[in-house]
Amino acid sequence: MSMAETLTKCLHAQDIPYDLLHHSHASTSMEAAQAAHVPGDWVAKTVLLEDEDGYVMAVLPATHRIDLGELHRQTHRRLGLATEAELSSLFVDCEVGAVPPIGRAYGIDTIVDDSLAEQAEVYFDAGDHEQLVHVSGEVFGSLLGAVEYASFSYHL
């Protein structure tokens, strides 16, 4: 599979400079970091959450785990994990588990962990399990647009 069409259009519409890094098949963001030989702190993983108000894309480093209790305290929402079926229907141009962290490309609100915002380089899924998109941390911030930042994860 190639880069998700929705992501490609978003990157080109904003004239975002990026590189594609090919790697062996990886099922998780941490495996992708290892296969691509990049630090896991630089790889942004996407966790799709939901509640009665809709979906939220939580973006954090591959080396971190989400603290749903802390996220609840900060957002005042009781968010839970979305199902694989929901992922498939929302991200039709992506393989399950390889969702790019660019919520605005898919019309989904996004919250980004502060620890990721501090990275000089960021890599993220291109929509499949064999490519990472690479951008500078500054470009990543501009690509995300107006998103919420918070501290809601802990290092594994």
Arithmetic mean of pLDDT over the chain: 95
Q: What is the pLDDT of residues 22-56, one digit of tens each?
A: 999 999 999 999 999 999 999 999 999 999 999 99
Q: Are 71 and 37 in contact (CB under 8 A)?
A: no
Instruction: Tell me the average pLDDT across 8-32.
Output: 96
Phi, psi of 150 (to 5 degrees): -160, 170
pLDDT of residue 73 exceeding 80: yes
What is residue 93's DSSP assignment? T
- Residue whose structure tokens are 């620890």: 115
pLDDT of residue 117: 87
pLDDT of residue 1 exceeding 80: no
Which pair of tokens denotes residue 67? 């603290």
Instruction: Tell me the average pLDDT across 56-71.
Output: 97
Q: How many structural domains does the chain have?
A: 1
Q: Are 82 and 50 in contact (CB under 8 A)?
A: yes
pLDDT of residue 78 exceeding 80: yes
CATH of the domain at 145: 3.90.960.10
